[in-house]
Amino acid sequence: MVSGYLDHLTVERGLAANTIASYRRDLRRYAEFLAGAGVEGMGEVGESDVAAFLVALRSGDDDHPPLSATSAARAVVAVRGLHRFALLDGLVGDDVAAEVKPPAPTRRLPKAIPVEQVEALITAAGSLEGPRGLRDRALLELLYGTGARISEAVGLAVDDLDLGSAAVRLAGKGGKERVVPVGSYAVRAVEEYLVRARPALAEKGRSGVRGGALFLNARGGPLSRQSAWSILRDAAERAGIDAELSPHTLRHSFATHLLDGGADVRVVQELLGHASVTTTQVYTLVTVERLREVYATSHPRALR
């Protein structure tokens, strides 16, 4: 039955090969667990067996290390899907896995860096000679100045910019567009890049100086996400920043610094392009942690 279920996911649901491979491993482990518990068929499985499997995933055993909440949740989803498939095929009379909920993944707070490190990062990016330094500085200034996702930034066309009114049109997830203001530092950096660097880069490719992708690589083609990540990593190394950075670091810092400065969470939601304010509210946890640090080190009755 497991093979039939996986075939269903492949053909009818179109799941990726890697996902199918993960589900196959999860269900093989589930079958071994049931066999070890003396359960011989799907009709004999009870809700307690499914719940016990989840416990086993999280605690581990002699043959398996404990799984993280994310990995255990994936395995439970695979098991729940198998039982639902068996019910719909009439192989069992009840869906005994329906009430066994996957564990909630650990909530990770967004990683932000202090303003001083942002400034050092941008300065390091612009320290390179020639067009590359101007491009790299403009890219990082724009990322931090608008909170754009890395994919949104590298996907920008020159025509998406309106530097006269200090705004940029970003294409977010699901094709949803938003217009975001651009700070004066980013405006100046982008203007300098457009005048002094982009024409030289464009001459090496087919993009042309007018229109086309805003950020170009050394061959005159559109800058890739991987190249943007390398720009950030190299700038961090030159700036001597040891913190673990990712292309999302400047977006996280943008949101956190706005909230630290008193911005309303719903305004930050609009700027980030979040569909729900709930997604944005995770940043408020970061600012609360910062408030706790300041309180603990500053208030005379907080010291222990």
> Per-domain residue ranges for the chain?
2-88, 116-245
User: Is residue 79 a contact partner of residue 27, using CB atoms and an 8 Å limit?
Assistant: yes
Consecutive H or E run containing 84: helix 69-88
CA geometry: angle at 126 spanning 123 and 132, to 5°? Answer: 160
**Beta-bridge partner residues of 179:** 169
pTM equals: 0.61
pLDDT at 243: 80
* Mean pLDDT value across the chain: 87
Tokens 């809700």 correspond to 47
pLDDT at 190: 97
CATH architecture, domain defined by 116-245: Orthogonal Bundle (1.10)
User: Is residue 22 a contact partner of residue 37, using CB atoms and an 8 Å limit?
Assistant: no
Tokens of 249: 């670091």
Active site members: 149, 173, 248, 251, 274, 283
- pLDDT tens digits, one per residue of 102-138: 887 766 666 889 999 999 999 999 999 999 999 999 9
What SS3 state is found at 163? coil
- Cβ of 70: how many Cβ atoms within 10 Å? 12
How confident is residue 291, by pLDDT bands cut at 50, 70 and 90?
Answer: low
pLDDT at 199: 94
Q: Which of 87-101, 121-135, 286-300 has the lowest mean pLDDT?
A: 286-300
Nearest-angstrom CA–CA distance, 224 and 215 = 9
- pLDDT tens digits, one per residue of 179-213: 999 999 999 999 999 999 999 999 887 644 445 89
Q: What is the DSSP letter of 299?
A: -
pLDDT at 40 over 90: no
Number of H-type helices and E-type strands within the chain: 14, 3
User: Is residue 232 a contact partner of residue 249, using CB atoms and an 8 Å limit?
Assistant: yes
pLDDT at 261 over 50: yes
Nearest-angstrom CA–CA distance, 115 and 258 = 11
Neighbour order of strands in the sheet with 177-181: 161-162, 167-171, 177-181
pLDDT at 81 over 80: yes
Residue type, 186: A
Nearest-angstrom CA–CA distance, 219 and 202 = 8
Nearest-angstrom CA–CA distance, 287 and 173 = 26
Tokens of 272: 């980030």
Tell me what percent of the residues of the chain surpass a pLDDT of 70. 89
pLDDT at 166 over 90: yes
- Cβ of 164: how many Cβ atoms within 10 Å? 7
Tokens of 296: 């603990």
Residue type, 259: L
pLDDT at 207: 46
- CATH class of the domain at 2-88: mainly alpha
Query: How remote is the C-alpha of 104 from its chain's centroid?
Result: 17
